[in-house]
Homo-oligomer: A and B are copies of this chain.
């Protein structure tokens, strides 16, 4: 099946908003085995939208549109799609009632124009898609082996509708089942991982193995397309076993969860309390961990000891240590952790000191030099890292990943 994605909205052409709908839909379609040939964006201009849809229909089986389902005169995506597919729109009473009740629920007034949103394809021409996060219903037009799916523009509404209605519908059309697993890996570069996996990637047709690098980590997607789900799952699992023997401990999630969520989840589930003392990351480790709801049951305390003064007063780092070895040194990191442990008694105490730049680096202590020291119930690890000095914020974010990874390592080891 070949597809194209058409985004409608003048605000996109003005560069006021980034088009995140398209990347979301592309990934979803590809995961279902549907090829995406084009992305296109037009403004609220009926002629251009009409021309584009006509042209796309000559080349693809499926067009997904986002935007232009609102109540104003400018919102014409559905009308143009109906025309291109030679389908009629009629007032759908159930959808109108749903729109009315949405206005009542959110305490707003419905305008006469909102009736336009309930003009939808009839059963013989397509399917109506309910909107559980806004007023505009979506719809699917079906004719002569072609399909146009019209979705709302706001990403939250669009995603909800796609997941609830479109994804199951598209899956039901295929005789084959696609199953995949996304393994997330930290600490191995994409190039290195590819060479490690070379032996099992070569000549591999099903399952397929693909690696993706993003923000300092790598994901491996193992995908199988078979006639039953059980077969696809078994094929993926068999390949997973091989990848596990190769990448081993570097795999921190097999469910496409990110590192902060994995670590926070383990701390909460195992009731492991944690405190941190941060210098160069400046609170970002705490802020990242605290993104997870429920962390308050285990997160005890964070100290942003940015100045030398704060390191001495809050953590008892020795003036002599700072003088002799400097604030960015293994010795300081170890004393920070020891001080934090004395103060809080948390199960995990982790501290970090480093040079985030762009200023402050020297030949011996360059920008990107980072020391992380963590203690888990008396077992202490302290490591030096040379983080690639991409930018101040990259160094800080990557350092937080290194810290999360160290915590994950410590709490996952048998004690």
Which of A's residues lie within 8 Å of B, judged by CB? 7, 12-20, 22-30, 36-43, 45, 48, 212, 276, 278, 281-287, 289-291, 293-294, 296, 299-307, 309-310, 313-314, 343-344, 357-360, 392-393, 396
Contacts and interface: CB of A to CB of B under 8 A. Distances in A.
A interface: dominant SS: mixed
Contacts of A36: 13-15
B304 A304 contact: yes
B282 A286 contact: yes
- What is the copy number of this chain in the assembly? 2
Given A290-B283, A303-B302, A48 B40 contact: no
A299 to B, nearest CB: 5
Nearest to A284: B287
6 closest cross-chain pairs (CB), A and B: A302-B304, A15-B27, A282-B290, A15-B26, A283-B286, A283-B283
A10 to B, nearest CB: 10
Nearest to A41: B39
Given A18-B18, A302-B304, A293 B357 contact: yes
B39 A38 contact: no
B43 A40 contact: no
B293 A299 contact: no
Contacts of A357: 293
Nearest to A10: B36
A13 B310 CA distance: 50
B48 A42 contact: no
A303 B300 contact: no
30 contacts: A12-B39, A13-B30, A14-B26, A14-B27, A15-B26, A15-B28, A15-B36, A19-B39, A38-B40, A38-B42, A39-B41, A40-B40, A40-B41, A282-B289, A282-B302, A283-B285, A283-B286, A286-B306, A291-B392, A291-B393, A293-B357, A293-B392, A294-B359, A299-B304, A300-B310, A301-B306, A301-B309, A302-B302, A303-B303, A304-B304
B37 A13 contact: yes
Contacts of A309: 300-301
B40 A39 contact: yes
A97 B324 CA distance: 48
A282 B287 contact: yes
A344 B212 CA distance: 46
